[in-house]
Structures are given as structure tokens and as C-alpha cells.
Amino acid sequence: MIYNAQKTKYSALFKDTYWGGDRPNLPEYIYEARNAFVERFAIVKVYKGIHRDKLKAMFDYSLDHLEMYRTDLGEIVGVCGNYAHSPPSVLNMEPTVALYSPHARSYFKVWSSIKNLSKHINGLNELALCGELHGIMKASNNSETVLTDIYRKLARLH
């Protein structure tokens, strides 16, 4: 049986991705779209840094089949193929042609560098913390309890 990666011009690039190691019989336009994706962004390798895991942990199933790649300019390109929903709006991902399957909507985001990706993730962590703190303050009538909970939340960050 032939794997997805082998049906593209860039099998060495896709072979270690979940999509590339799968063996469904996809329409030819998916493989052509994968080739065009690599060429459009000048993708040189799969990015397997910790940032992918952090994004997956933050958004769980809101980023189905997340893949990340490095370009020849050092940019990071994130791609997801979602079946039931759009990715979180705070990621500013743009829709693109189907890259995963004909039944999944594909989205992408380009970060200019690993540093900017890291800044984006850190900003998202701060937003999440603010949301948690707001929830704590709304739920509590005791300022001492609120401060204790805030210190606990901050301690988990370090």
C-alpha cells in the first residue's frame, strides 16, 4: 500500500507527519495542494519544536491534525485540518485549500520566526491567566481568597 507522502513530490518532507504516514485514497487535488503548499512557502523541513505541543495543549481539539514547518527564510508555518470547527480566532489562522482531506477545512498561519511564535504563545498564556483570574475574582467575595488564588496561579507559571 502507498502512503500519502509517497503521492507528493515531497515524500521525504511529509513521511514523518501523521498525514504522510496515513494511507487513505485521497483525491489527487489534495496531493497537488500539498505540493503547491511546499512551493508557495518554500518549506524546507518539518518543525518539531516544543511550540507545537504547547499550541496543542492550549487548544486541544480546536487544532485538528496540527503540522508545523520551517521555511527557507526561517519562518514557521502552522497548518491544521479541522473537521467540525474553525481554529481559535486568537491564532489568526487563514483558510486555505484542502490539505488534509476533502472533508476537513484547512487553515494556516505564518510566524516570521521561532521567537515570534514563542511571543505569540506567551501572549496567549497571559490571556488565559487573565481569564482565569477574572473568573476567580467574580466567584469570590473574599479578597484574601482571591489573592491566595492569584499567587497560586502565578506560582504555576514559574
pLDDT for 87 equals 87
Q: Which three cell numbers stand for residue 119?
A: 511571543
CA triple 76-82-83, angle to 5 deg: 170
Q: Is the pLDDT of residue 147 over 60?
A: no
- The model's pTM: 0.77
Q: How confident is the model at residue 27 (pLDDT cuts 50, 70, 90)?
A: very high
CA 23 – CA 35 distance, rounded (Å): 17
pLDDT in tens, 44-89: 999 988 878 888 777 766 788 899 999 999 999 999 999 988 888 8
